[in-house]
């Protein structure tokens, strides 16, 4: 949900930091995990939500309070004795997200496409600025009059008279064929 709060424009660097922080579920996981510093302790078994790794190295909630412990005791007996809520609670103790929650679509593509267009736009602005302040003036050969005189000269010189340029000019009627 974090990326929905931040705007799409201009907050990419903050988002990058946010994504890096929230990427590993372990950091945000259970209360009671004593972190030495802000860094994740990679020497301990980690939790992660991955579609291709259904059972991570440790449960989501390590530190169980009294109700959790009693539920765990009940788990040792027949599972048909557990109610639906208890089964869901047991699942949530061990895992953070269900598979559908892992696979939920994010709105990130909008940010990516939007960011692309922003950069294209900035490039466009740079190009426009360039055309005013960087490019030298256009050579005279681009002008309408010059072009017309150039064509006339080419026709006079009979450029490619058989199959090319002058072949397309009708010299009798003084027009293009």
Partner 1 sequence: MCLEQYIIFTTYNNHVDVFSKIICMMFLYVHFSGARMVLLPRAPLASRCYSHSKVETDEEFDARWVTYFSKPDIDAWELKKGMNTLIGYDLVPEPKIVDSALRACRRLNDLASAIRILEAVKDKSGPHKDIYPYLIQELKPTLTELGISTPEELGMDKL
Selected from 44, 70, 98, 147, the binder of partner 1 by CB under 8 A is 98
> How many whole angstroms from its chain centre is CA 137?
40
Which stretch in 31-39, 89-97, 124-132, 169-177 sits in contact with partner 1 by CB under 8 A?
Answer: 89-97
Q: How far is the CB of 35 from partner 1 (least distance, A)?
A: 20
3-state SS assignment for residue 52: coil
d(CA 32, CA 45): 15
The token pair at 103 is 């696979």
User: Within the chain, where are the H helices?
Assistant: 2-5, 12-22, 66-75, 84-94, 99-102, 108-133, 144-156
CB nearer to partner 1: pick between 80 and 131? 80
Please tell me whether residue 35 binds partner 1 under the rule CB under 8 A.
Answer: no
What part of residues 141-160 is at the interface with partner 1 (CB under 8 A)?
none
Say which residues have a Cβ less than 8 Å from residue 102's Cβ, sequence separation at least 6. Answer: 49, 50, 51
67, 48 Cβ separation under 8 angstroms: no
Please tell me whether residue 51 binds partner 1 under the rule CB under 8 A.
Answer: yes
CB nearer to partner 1: pick between 1 and 81? 81
- Residue 176 phi, psi dihedral angles, 5° rounding: -75, 145
Selected from 87, 149, 158, 168, the binder of partner 1 by CB under 8 A is 87
CB nearer to partner 1: pick between 114 and 143? 114
Q: How far is the CB of 43 from partner 1 (least distance, A)?
A: 17
Beta strands in 12-127 (DSSP E): none
d(CA 105, CA 3): 13
27, 44 Cβ separation under 8 angstroms: no
Q: How far is the CB of 28 from partner 1 (least distance, A)?
A: 15
What part of residues 55-84 is at the interface with partner 1 (CB under 8 A)?
55-57, 59, 75-76, 78-82, 84
Residue listed under structure tokens 């064509």: 151
Instruction: Give the binding site for partner 1 (CB under 8 A).
Output: 3, 12-13, 15-16, 19-20, 23, 51-57, 59, 75-76, 78-82, 84, 87-88, 90-91, 93-95, 98-101, 103-104, 108-109, 111-112, 115-116, 119-120
């Amino acid at each position: 949900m974090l990326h929905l709060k931040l705007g799409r424009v201009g907050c990419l660097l903050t988002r990058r930091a946010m994504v890096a922080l929230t990427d590993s579920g372990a950091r945000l996981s259970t209360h009671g995990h004593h972190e030495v510093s802000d860094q994740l302790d990679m020497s301990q078994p980690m939790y992660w939500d991955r579609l291709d790794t259904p059972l991570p190295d440790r449960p989501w909630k390590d530190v169980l309070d009294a109700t959790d412990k009693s539920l765990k005791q009940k788990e040792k007996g027949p599972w048909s004795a557990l109610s639906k809520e208890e089964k869901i609670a047991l699942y949530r103790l061990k895992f953070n997200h269900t598979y559908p929650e892992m696979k939920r679509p994010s709105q990130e593509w909008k940010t990516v496409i939007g960011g692309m267009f922003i950069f294209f736009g900035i490039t466009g602005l740079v190009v426009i600025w360039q055309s005013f302040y960087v490019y030298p003036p256009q050579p005279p050969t681009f002008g309408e009059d010059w072009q017309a005189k150039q064509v006339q000269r080419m026709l006079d010189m009979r450029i490619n008279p058989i199959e090319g340029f002058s072949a397309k000019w009708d010299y009798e009627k003084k027009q293009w064929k």
